[in-house]
Amino acid sequence: MDEDALIAAAQKGDARAFNQLVILYQGLAYNVAYRILHDPEAAADATQDAFFSAFRAMGKFRGGSFKSWLLRIVTNACYDQLRVKQRRPTSSLDNLPVEADHTFYLEDTSELPDEFVERQELNQVIQVGIAQLPIEQRAVLVLSDVQGLSYQEVADVLDISLGTVKSRLSRGRAKVRDFLLEKGELLPRRYRLSGEPETEHTGGHAQ
Amino acid sequence: MSWLRKRKETEHRNIQEQLSAYLDGELLPREREAVEQHLITCSSCRWNLKTLRQTVQWTSELPTVRVPRTFTVPVPARPVPAPRRWRFVPVLQGATALVALLLFFVIAGDAMLTGFQPVTMRRPETQALPVEATSLAEARGAEVTATVLVETVVVEKEAEGLMLQEAPAAEEPAAEEAARMLEVAPAETATVIVGEEIRATMAPAGGGEGAEDARAEESVGEETVAVEAAAPAPLPSEPSLAEEAAAVLPTATTKAMIAPTLAPTATTEAMTAPTPAPAPTEVAMPPPSAQVEVGEALSVPGREPASEWRHGLKPAVLMGVRWVEYALGVLLIVLVGTTIGAMVWRRSKR
């Protein structure tokens, strides 16, 4: 059965058909939730809630991209998770639990190739950097840069304008970049961003 | 020159904000051109672009995490067979009600038409004959010859205005034939024919006794004897007469059927008639149904023959109705049992 047929059946209340859609999309949904929430359990809860909500709301689905429709429900479920659990502060870059996560990642890595281990470290820092973003920027950055959605798709999912997508993404990326610069000393040399821009430019950047 | 400096600063900030979109190729051609122009001269923005590109690259390479479990929603246990099972009982209940209703109407119709008059089955002729003979003797008394009897039959029929046309025996060809013959033929002719027949019948049996002179008791006795002696009776001397008698035979029998009020008389003829029947081998025997009818007519001697026919149903039809009632009753019992069983089973399933 193709996706349209599954959607049509699920809209009539066919839980089996809907579960086939779940199998198709749960990877995407969970990964989005995981990158936004930076917490496996909360991500699982948000994913499950999202699929329950989606099944109940199938009747309201009016065609278009099922993926976008589902991802909006997933991001809303993530917002709910954050709101309810008040998990982590997202305002300050100074309260990062990078150290703890970093040591976690360095546990018992003697058997693994150096490059793999180093990459794990980089990924951890990026993940934490994303987690520090304000939720709006985080959602846009995860959908765009982690999941590879186009600007238009991100705009559809989050129900925001293209301009808003652009600006939120620009700020989010810059913050993650700055975070990587800040934590550069924790990273292997090859994953350190070059420290300072050349100062030949005499514009307002120095201010 | 400060205005130029300020203008450059503003441009620099704008370009910085567009670097992200520039990376993704999401700028308009004019904007992209402006960014590229700016990048030539601005090392800060070049660094900015380079580090952003690296960040985006690394971010996009974040591994896909494995789903810790499936997130399917619970499926109701066997949603399709369940309702099908529940639909089974209402169907049974409906069928039971329907059969009960049908049975009620059939019985009600039967009761209104016939008053549950019992249907008598065919009786052996040996039993019927004495009864008939006795009743005939009682009814007629003495000094009545067979021919006179036949005459009386015809006359009485005509006098009472018994409608042969509307007789229920119309379904039977024999009866129709009889009716036609009776209508067409003058009474005398019929009498003569039957009389001859009887004479022919009695001739070998009763010897020289004339039909005209025979007294009732004697004649009845002779007739009974004649009937009993019918099978071994020798062929009549005149085959034509025998044939004629045989031809009349169904008529006489049918007369007995359709004129139950005259049953004693008519049946006498009927019973007498079979005597020559076995004689001409070519002539067909009276139809079996006619025989049954005669038997039945005989079985209700004198008292209730009229009510037997009042409902206008042939005994065969009546029997059919009774069988339908019986079958419906059995079906109803089976259905009620099954329905109750199904309901109990369903309750226990819950």
Question: Over the stretch A59-108, which tens digit does the pLDDT of each residue have?
Answer: 999 889 999 999 999 999 999 999 887 655 544 444 444 433 433 444 45
Q: If we measure between CA atoms, which residue out of B41, B91, B54 comes closest to residue A176?
A: B54
Looking at beta carbons, which residues of chain A come within 8 Å of B43?
Answer: 197-201
Please list, residue by residue across B92-104, b when 16 or more beta carbons sit within 10 angstroms of its beta carbon and e when fewer do.
bbeebeebbeebe
Least confident piece of the model among A127-136, B91-100, B290-299: B290-299
Distance CA(A15)–CA(B193), nearest Å, equals 92
Interval B286-295: pLDDT, tens: 444 444 444 4
Interval B150-165: pLDDT, tens: 444 444 444 444 444 4
Inter-chain residue contact B52 with A31, CB threshold 8 Å? no
Inter-chain residue contact B75 with A176, CB threshold 8 Å? no
- Going by pLDDT thresholds of 50, 70 and 90, the confidence category of residue A111 is low
Distance CA(B187)–CA(B184), nearest Å, equals 9
Interval B109-151: pLDDT, tens: 888 887 766 665 544 444 444 444 444 444 444 444 444 444 4
Report angle CA B194, B199, B201 to the nearest 5 degrees: 95
Looking at beta carbons, which residues of chain B come within 8 Å of A31?
Answer: 64-65
More confident position, B157 or A131: A131
Distance CA(B162)–CA(B258), nearest Å, equals 9
Q: Which of A189, A193, A194, A196 to mutate to test the interface with B (most CBs of B within 10 A)?
A: A193
CB A73 within 8 A of CB A57: yes
CB B35 within 8 A of CB B14: no
Chain A nearest-CA distance from B16, in A, is: 9
Distance CA(A87)–CA(A81), nearest Å, equals 8
How far from chain centre, in Å, is Cα B100? 15
Inter-chain residue contact B72 with A51, CB threshold 8 Å? yes
Inter-chain residue contact B72 with A23, CB threshold 8 Å? yes
- Which of A85-89, B101-105, B307-311 has maximum average pLDDT? B101-105
| CA A165 vs CA A126, A152, A182: distances in Å | 20, 8, 25
Q: Which amino acid is at B177?
A: E
Percent of chain A whose predicted confidence (pLDDT) is above 90: 63
Write out the two tokens for B327.
């079958």
Inter-chain residue contact A197 with B48, CB threshold 8 Å? yes
Distance CA(B344)–CA(A72), nearest Å, equals 50
Distance CA(A25)–CA(A17), nearest Å, equals 13
For residues A37-59, average pLDDT? 94
Chain B nearest-CA distance from A163, in A, is: 10
Q: How many residues does chain B have?
A: 350
Inter-chain residue contact A173 with B55, CB threshold 8 Å? yes
Interval B23-71: pLDDT, tens: 999 999 999 999 999 999 999 999 999 999 999 999 999 999 999 999 9
How far from chain centre, in Å, is Cα B91? 21
| CA B125 vs CA A14, A169, B129, B131, B220: distances in Å | 76, 114, 6, 10, 16
Nearest Cα residue in chain A from B48: A197
CB A120 within 8 A of CB A105: yes
Q: Which amino acid is at A43?
A: A
More confident position, B26 or B315: B26
Percent of chain A whose predicted confidence (pLDDT) is above 70: 80
pLDDT score recorded for residue B193: 44
Write out the two tokens for A69.
């429709």
Distance CA(B16)–CA(B10), nearest Å, equals 10
Q: Reduced to 3 states, what is the DSSP secondary structure of residue B63?
A: coil
| CA B183 vs CA B103, B127, B253: distances in Å | 43, 33, 16
The H-assigned helical ranges of chain B are 2-23, 29-41, 43-60, 81-114, 125-140, 146-160, 173-184, 187-206, 216-228, 239-258, 263-272, 288-299, 305-310, 315-349
Distance CA(B251)–CA(A109), nearest Å, equals 120
